[in-house]
Structure 1
Amino acid sequence: MSSDFETYEQDFATLTAEITSKIGRIPKLAGEEKTQLVLNVDKKLEEVRELLEQMDLEVREMPAQSRGMYNSRLKSYKQEMDKLEKDFRAHLLDNTERLERSSRRLEAGYQIAVETEQVGQEILANLHSDREKIQRSRDRLRETDANLGKSSRILTGMLRRVIQNRILIFVLGAVILLTIVLAVYFNFRGQ
């Protein structure tokens, strides 16, 4: 675990040395070259921020007994990062750079807004599609319900006919049995 932290420390040292060197060169440059260097330093500072976040996560996962020592090292790295950012801001006295950075942020914000709008449109299209599916399902359920009602009426009619047929068979059987009994009775009586 601590070996990962030490690897991060080495990366931190390399990055901060590179940033310090580049910050020192900013006032000596002008135009596009200066803009590119400022952008590069900004990117490197972001890398350092991400590195510090990784180190912070690493420290949180360490056993409690060794956490204190690494926490104090991490704190000093964060202070060093703050100093680097202040130095960087101090070297950006030219309003043009500030305006360019603001412009980039606005462009990024606009891009995010456009992407958000596209996502919103996709969600609305999906919701519309889902609504149509639900409507079709509801229509199918209504049809099924109507068909079940018809089937129930048909079955009730069939059951009624079966009961009528059984009663008719029972009555016919009784008449035939009565006829046989009377025939036998009159036959014996005649003899």
Structure 2
Amino acid sequence: MSSDFETYEQEFGTLTAEITSRIGKIPKLGGDEKKNMVVNVEKQLEEARELLEQMDLEVREIPVQSRGMHSTRLKSYKQELEKLEKDFKRSRIAYSDEVRDELLGDDGNSSASQRAHLLDNAEKLERSSRRLEAGYQIAVETEQVGQEILENLHHDREKIQRSRDRLRETDANLGKSSRILTGMLRSVSLKGLPCSYVKNSTKERMQAVFDTRIIQNRILMFILGIIILFTVVLAIYFSVRGL
């Protein structure tokens, strides 16, 4: 990618050098010769714009970590082209001293009103050119801002996509953990049933033993009561008999 960018750089440098040379010649020309030169420069400026577009595409394909240097160079080339376009617009309405004298008629054949009219038209063209330059500059700046916004949106989209992937992975891990915990709880519940059963059986046995002992105690008390009663009866009997 960088080799293609450097190739476009060389072509751009050669082309801008030719454009600069021709722009310097335009004010010295007149008539059809000047028109032909203007047409040629316009074509070369269009070629320069296409080269910048190609370089812009190459920069976008370069990895982000090494894109900064190429972006800076591309920005300087755009500024250079803007300056050439401004110089070209000025050269189209500029005239050398010889051409100006010819147009204004310094040989005395042209009237003062014609000279004033030509100068007024030249000033109007200059003002229109400045307005066009200002509008073009605003359009270029707007395009640059839009490009930066698109790049930022692209980076944000990549971050959001990575976040979504991490969330999906986390959700999958949580699902696995939930299934494992559910299995563990079921296992603990199943293992807990025999323990409960043993505890209940032990309680029942202890209750039975306790009830048996109560019954035995009651029987013993009953027998003891009978013995005491029998002893009392015998004592009364022998007492009466002794009388």
TM-score (norm 2): 0.39
Which structure has more RCO (C-alpha within 8 Å, separation ≥ 6)?
Answer: 1
Q: Which has the larger radius of gyration?
A: 2
Q: Normalising to structure 1: TM-score of the pair? A: 0.49
